[in-house]
Amino acid sequence: MILHTLIDYDTLRVIWWLLLGVLLIGFAVMDGFDLGTGMLLPFVARTDIERRVVINAVGPVWEGNQVWLVTGGGAIFAAWPALYSVSFSGFYLAMFAILFALILRPVGFKYRSKRENAAWRSAWDWALFIGGFVPALVMGVAVGNVLQGVPFHFNGELRIFYDGTTLFELLNPYGILAGLVSVAMLVMHGAAWLVLKTEGPVAERSRAVGSVAALVTIVLFVLGGLWLYYGVDGYRITSAFVVDGPSNPLAKTVEVAPRIWFANYAAHPWMLAGPALGLIGAALASLLFRVRSEVGALLMSSLSIFGIISTVGLSMFPIILPSTVDPRSSLTVWDSSSSHMTLFIMLIVALVFVPIVVAYTSFVYKVLWGKVDERSISDGSGHAY
């Protein structure tokens, strides 16, 4: 028996759909507080030493956290090649904006304190703000556009054509709302991290901002759900399709109609756990900020992120990327994956290396556990940013 036949093709596809969600959530949780901290830098830290405290709260760990982004991109490329082709080609300018902003972060961390000049340091502080704000906003905008559908299609030879034009068409009202949900969510998460890792005025300001950001996240998330229910059409497969056959997006018919994105919740009520956790997590985070529970606020903000991102995947399943040009070209779990053998080999690799990455990351955070204070920054040891 060939080894990869131990797991059915359709099961492997669902497993990799789940793993893709895990990687996206892992990135949002692990690198999300880095992005949130960057957005908060000019506002919760008012003196130079306070801003250095904020930078050093994430400086030792941000590079490791970006492993989740790299791994997620690699997983999409290998497991979902059609999804990779459409998203990375169609959202090319958006991806470039994210990449440019992310490049500002390491440069800002390394060069910000190289000169004593106040204007120099202020410029890099705002560069770090951009490095946090732009990725958070654009990634949320991308999710909003995915929920609405993306203008692409396949021809008879299964060649992909993207029919969009500019970056600005992505900045539609619903896309911007989704971007604001992302920004508020990651500001909440970044504030939770700063409350955990700092003390004094920085921690107090972060606590106040985080509590408000959590409530804003709830309001925007609910607004996004209502808008999705009343104003955005969903996509549903209406023909019979083979879940364990070769990937062929054109071998199906797709219906476009209102409220379809909510059909899964009626058919499978347990899926309501996704939006419930998003709302409950943010509400508890706001409360725990106020009662000064540092670890609790970070855990609840992470739970909220888990719930909000899960909501998107659960609402759309089995659709991964809908097409507004030709609905039957929409990519699903069943017709846009790599081969059976590829998914199986990747699963074995993931089962070996993901635990290693998680174990190493846990070790790093254990070693670096503790608060960053002004004395540790200004003692002249030379190890601080």
pLDDT one-digit tens code per residue, 94-144 = 888 899 999 998 898 888 888 888 899 999 999 999 999 999 999 999 999
Residue 2 counted as domain residue: no
pLDDT at 16 exceeding the cut of 70: yes
Residue 198 counted as domain residue: yes
> pLDDT tens for residues 149-191?
999 999 988 888 888 766 778 889 999 999 999 999 999 999 9
Residue 3: pLDDT band with limits 50, 70, 90: low
Residue 383 counted as domain residue: no
- Higher-confidence residue of 166 and 33: namely 33
Residue 66 confidence (pLDDT): 84
Residue 1 confidence (pLDDT): 47
* Cα dist from 300 to 31, 178, 217, 241, 283, whole Å: 16, 20, 13, 40, 8
Residue 338 confidence (pLDDT): 92
pLDDT at 254 exceeding the cut of 90: yes
pLDDT at 262 exceeding the cut of 70: yes
DSSP letter string over 169-214? GG--HHHHHHHHHHHHHHHHHHHHHHHHH--THHHHHHHHHHHHHH
Residue 384 counted as domain residue: no
Residue 238: pLDDT band with limits 50, 70, 90: very high
What is the rounded average pLDDT of the residues 241-262?
Answer: 90
What is the rounded average pLDDT of the residues 27-47?
Answer: 93
Residue 5 confidence (pLDDT): 67
C-alpha triplet 46, 50, 51: angle, nearest 5°: 80
End-to-end CA distance of the chain: 56
Residue 299 counted as domain residue: yes
Residue at 337: amino acid letter = S
Residue 201 counted as domain residue: yes
Residue 1 counted as domain residue: no
- Higher-confidence residue of 28 and 67: namely 28
Half-sphere exposure of 158 (CA within 13 A, CB side): 11
Mean pLDDT over each residue of the chain, to the nearest integer: 90
> pLDDT tens for residues 67-108?
888 888 888 888 999 998 888 877 888 888 899 999 998 898
Name the residue range of residue 345's domain.
7-378
What is the rounded average pLDDT of the residues 224-246?
Answer: 91
Half-sphere exposure of 364 (CA within 13 A, CB side): 15
Residue 364: pLDDT band with limits 50, 70, 90: confident
Residue 38 confidence (pLDDT): 94
Q: Tell me how far apart the alpha carbons of residues 125 and 55 are, in angstroms, rounded to a whole number.
A: 9
Backbone angles phi, psi at 268, to 5 degrees: -135, 85
CB atoms within 10 A of CB 288: 24
Residue 217 confidence (pLDDT): 98
For the record, the structure tokens of 349 come out as 């690799």
Residue 385 counted as domain residue: no
Q: Tell me how far apart the alpha carbons of residues 224 and 144 are, in angstroms, rounded to a whole number.
A: 9
- Of all residues in the chain, the percent with pLDDT exceeding 90 is 63
Residue 4 confidence (pLDDT): 60
Q: Is the peptide bond before 249 cis (omega within 30 degrees of 0)?
A: no
The pTM of this model reads 0.93
pLDDT at 381 exceeding the cut of 70: no
Overall number of domains in the chain: 1
